[in-house]
Structure 1
Amino acid sequence: MKALNLLVLAVFTAIACNGPKEDSPIDAHFSPDSVARAEILEECFQAVNGKDTIRLRIQPEEVNVTGELAYLWSEKDKSWGKIEGTLEDSLLIAEYTFLSEGDTSIRQVVFKRFKEGWKEGYGEINEVDGVVAYKNIDSLDYSHEVNLVSVPCDQFYTRLR
């Protein structure tokens, strides 16, 4: 009986020493490296102009970007929703699916990265199949003063309650 206990203990010790397989998806998901990568892949930006606030949270994955965008105007309709798009050079081009005044809408948004932060582009628009989009992305105006600057994501939220 003593020999059997020692044999079982030796087998468990050998299994424990081998550890999990390197390609285990569970271990990869919870590894410190994957947590660090997840934190790096999420960025948050905000612009405050008086009582008005714009918040942008993006999760880039190579050229594709998902995230959230909120326009929190003090005396106008607020809107918040999700973005899906691409990041090319210094341009974030995305579809913004948002809720405002109880209605869901879709429009194109374009942000350009400058040294001082992200600026939203404005220009002439078209509506095609219920989606508002810019006629010419290359001619958008970024000359306004509103810059979205980096903020910690742990302080970021878009839901209004």
Structure 2
Amino acid sequence: MKNYLLIFTALTSIIISSCKNETKKEEIEIIAPDETDIMESDVNSPEIGCYRYASEKDTVLLQMEKMNEEVAGTLSYNYFEKDKNDGTFEGKMVGDTLFADYTFGSEGTVSVREIMFVKKGNNLIEGFSEVEEVNGKMKFKNNSKFTLNDKMPLEEIRCDEN
């Protein structure tokens, strides 16, 4: 009986000892990444901007998020004695110019049209050009000839002000 007890104790010691060694090996093999290994370019956060034009009777509100050249956001036109337009847009910044497709609802109908805004200082100025309908979307005929609406600049505001 002492022999069995001695063998059992020896085997238990070996098993416990080998389990401890296995655990140590696993801990050594698992290496958590150091903060210095994470590149700053991997942690992109969008630029967020809000712009508003407001007069006694008219309001235009634009909110956008920009990630690299890609831009998306919401846009609302509320002109006196006209139907309100609310929608979203997705597009690109080309230098200081935003080109996007604006999908909006007005009079119970959903429409899509191209929009263009130029950033001047802290303002966005909407640009207009001749348009044509292509596959159900109003598109600019010529992307190089625009008239800027300097009379209604959208001023940059804090996003919690709208």
User: Is TM more than 0.5 here?
Assistant: yes
Contact 1:116/1:147 (<8 A) preserved: no
Contact 2:126/2:149 (<8 A) preserved: no
Q: 1:53 to 1:143 in 2, by over 3 A?
A: closer
Larger radius of gyration: 2
1:134 and 2:127 equivalent? no
TM, length-normalised to structure 2: 0.70
Number of residue pairs aligned between Structure 1 and Structure 2: 126
Per the alignment, residue 99 of structure 1 pairs with: 105
Per the alignment, residue 159 of structure 1 pairs with: none
Structure 1 segments (4+ residues) deviating >6 Å: 20-23
Root-mean-square deviation (Å): 2.3
Query: What is the rounded CA distance, in whole Å, between the counterparts of 2:152 and 2:76 in structure 1?
Result: 14
1:111 and 2:100 equivalent? no
Query: What is the rounded CA distance, in whole Å, between the counterparts of 1:49 and 1:69 in structure 2?
Result: 17
In structure 1, runs of 5+ residues without a counterpart are: 1-19, 24-33, 157-161
CA displacement at 1:22 relative to structure 2: 6.3
In structure 2, runs of 5+ residues without a counterpart are: 1-31, 36-42
1:59 and 2:77 equivalent? no
Per the alignment, residue 77 of structure 1 pairs with: 83
CA displacement at 1:50 relative to structure 2: 2.7
Per the alignment, residue 14 of structure 1 pairs with: none
TM, length-normalised to structure 1: 0.71
> Identity rate of aligned residues, in percent?
31
Greater length-normalized contact order (CA 8 Å, ≥ 6 residues apart): 1
Q: Deviations over 1:123-153 (max 9, x none)?
A: 1111000100111121000153110011111
